[in-house]
Amino acid sequence: MVVSVKNLVNGCDTNDQGIVIYKHVSSCLKAGTKVTLDFSGISNVTSSFVNSSVVQLIDDFGYDHVRSLLVIKGVNNQIGSLLRERMTKIAA
């Protein structure tokens, strides 16, 4: 399943926006469905957004489970760097 971030939220700035993404992706992960989280058309994200979306997934499902089922695409340098930083930190 492909989850297009820009089709679900009008920005990636707040915890509330991150929770919207979290809910869509977590329902797929619960079912064991592979998910592609597509950030195409998104120019930046905040730590709050990443914490309430992707980091919360890792907290709930575990790093290995998320890594095995979640593919992230369409990221620019800012988004990719922040996601890697937060995911690496939570995995440690």
What is the per-residue pLDDT across 8-40, written as a single tens digit (0 to 9) for each?
A: 999 999 999 999 999 999 999 999 999 999 999
For residue 44, pLDDT beyond 90: yes
User: Can you tell me the distance from the alpha carbon of 76 to that of 13, in angstroms, rounded to the nearest whole number?
Assistant: 16
Q: What is the pLDDT of residue 88?
A: 82
User: Can you tell me the distance from the alpha carbon of 63 to that of 52, in angstroms, rounded to the nearest whole number?
Assistant: 15
Structural domain that includes position 20: 2-91
Name the domain count of the chain.
1
Q: What is the pLDDT of residue 16?
A: 97
Q: What is the pLDDT of residue 87?
A: 85
Q: Give which of 60, 34, 59, 49 is closest to 83, Cα–Cα.
A: 49
